[in-house]
Structure 1
Amino acid sequence: MNRDWQLDLERWLEPFVSALRHKTRARMCPAYIAGLIGLGDRKSVQPMAARHAGVNYDQLHHFIASGVWDAAPLEKVLLAEADRQVGGNDAWLIVDDTALPKKGRHSVGVAPQYASALGKNANCQTLVSLTLASGEVPVMVGLRLFLPESWTSDPARLDRAGVPEDHRAYRTKPEIALAEIDRARAAGLRFGCVLADAGYG
């Protein structure tokens, strides 16, 4: 990979890396992001680690799989950067669904439900997304997993999947969207209008 490109990426990631507040994670974050957006078709941990000279599989896997992170500091930096780039009275905040088709039933939130990407009901995870956009520049500022009632009504399933206690109550997609809009506004994100399809009322 072109070293100048890597240096530019590391400079751009500096505020996000600082928000991690963890020395090892701060070292792994640029390697992981470079692996996701860099050369190579396979974006799983093993091939990404093999392509990066200073990182091995165990280190990169630990970065992804270990423990619960406090996402709030990263989200704060993301909202500030999004606002700097495209925020203002002429910006739009767009609410939408993102469906991730899945087989099986063990991934958190997977259930037969409407998959917007497929245009039909399918086994998938559904996420409520918020995107700040101005002109032709979109910046994703929020992504929250929707838990269907088949999950929230099954405490044993929630336990097996390790769903945190404060995320176990059933919330509709519009309720998730409103909470995300409130979070964005509280952080000072500037936008003139919210757009959503009819599913959000």
Structure 2
Amino acid sequence: MENIFSALLRRDQRERAREYIKGLQRTPGRKSIRNIAQHSGDSSAEQNLHHFVNGSTWDWQPVRRALAGVLAEEIGETRAWVGYPLVIPKGGSKSVGVQRRFHPEFGRMVSAQWALGLWMAAESGSAPVNWHMEIPSQTGAGAIVPTLDRASTERTGAIVGSLLAQIDPGESARMLVLDARGLDAGALITQLRHVGAPLYLRVAENYPVEVATRSPTPAWHVASAGAALDLSQRGHYAGAGEPVVYSKAKVRLPNRPRADGDLGLWGLDHGVRGRSGTLWLTDVATVHAGSVLRARRLLDMAAATQDYQLEHLGIRDFSGRSLAGWHRHATLVSVAHTIRSLRSAATARGVLTGSRVRAAGA
């Protein structure tokens, strides 16, 4: 852990970081500062930890960059970026960033904190290395977000680009994976092409695309993504022990310049009875089925890790009006998860050497 917290120049801050992370990992129940302090048995711990998270001056971005460096060394060249939302239901106005918005999965208005995590991911594991929390503005707070909302799309694209630039502007990855259901995926692809990584966006069944008719003369017409795949040829892929029925189509985006080029639309288990199908849009027109399947696995992994491991470490347990406090708490949860994951992987391999010792040592 020493190299991750090398950005903390003061010894007392490094000590508080160790104490807080141990508390996140060992305190039963809700990971509030009070519960962590009570579990530690130190009568002064609550005041010290409260100041460390909410009132101290340490910058979380250098810590996140160091965390990303440790993960990059562990994961290697197979790493990918995954952007995954974090919704933290909250009532009242005593917590930072709470706003009432439409939740597409729930199909109703939800009062919550709305955040986005940037995950470094591979089949061997994943962890969030940067976070953004949306702060409600005077205008639009509480508004229902319609399907393919342009403002939400532009905001999401800007957030993802900013999160990547904050970690390492020169960082390369095999792919960038996002859940774009409810967003204008085509506009998001245009906005994020500068990232330099192939884009894989999960889209909704009703997302509009232009697809070419087969005969006698090819012509483009608008159809839903689901309908476009219903007319496409199916295939089977059994790589990595995960057999899947796939369908694919070359599509364009309605009302977009032809210079934007063709996109690949893929369905994994789309229309297959008894299976949960997903639809994907990618800017790599000649991509292999295995790459699309990998994008689905990495998105599912981030979702499962957030819902179980990060939930257990208290990612939704911060309370207070301090945005800086929330960012520090989210950073420490990310570090606690990474330490636990590295230790588990090292135990399984029977080795713990080099920077992994410094990363995992408390």
What TM-score results when the alignment is normalised by the length of structure 1?
0.73
**SS of the residue aligned with 1:196?**
strand
Q: Report if aligned partners of 1:111, 1:150 keep a CA contact under 8 Å in 2.
A: no
Residue 28 of structure 1 is aligned with which of 16, 23, 45?
16
Q: Could you tell me which runs of 5 or more consecutive residues in structure 1 were left unpaired when the two chains were aligned.
A: 1-12, 154-170
- Write the deviation string for residues 130-159 of structure 1: whole angstroms up to 9, x where unpaired: 111111401211111112333799xxxxxx
Aligned equivalents of 1:21 and 1:81: distance in 2?
A: 19
Q: 2:80 aligns with which of 67, 92, 102?
A: 92
1:139 pairs with 2:122: no
1:106 Cα offset (Å): 4.5
Per the alignment, residue 65 of structure 2 pairs with 76
Corresponding position: 1:182 with 2:165: yes
Q: Is the 8 A contact 1:16 1:77 kept in 2?
A: yes
Cα distance change of structure 1 residues 148 and 51 upon mapping to structure 2, 3 Å threshold = closer
Identify the match of residue 2 of structure 2 among 4, 9, 14. 14
Determine the structure 2 residue equivalent to 1:58: 47
Question: Which letter does structure 1 place at the counterpart of 2:87?
Answer: A
Shift of 1:128: 1.6
Matched position secondary structure for 1:14 = coil
Per the TM alignment, residue 172 of structure 1 is displaced from its structure 2 partner at its CA by: 1.3
Cα pair 2:81 2:177 within 8 Å, conserved? yes
Aligned residues: 170
Aligned CA RMSD, in angstroms, stands at: 2.6
**1:194 aligns to 2:213 (yes or no):** no
Q: What's the TM-score once normalised by structure 2's chain length?
A: 0.42
Q: What one-letter code is carried by the residue in structure 2 that aligns with 1:98?
A: L
Residue in 2 that maps onto 1:47: 35
- Relative to its length, the structure with more helix (as a share) is 1
Larger radius of gyration: 2
Query: How far did residue 127 of structure 1 move?
Result: 0.8
Task: Give the whole-Å Cα distance in 1 for the aligned partners of 2:3 and 2:125.
Answer: 21
C-alpha spacing 1:30/1:118, structure 2 compared with 1 (3 Å): farther
Counterpart residue identity of residue 130, structure 2: G
Shift of 1:102: 0.9
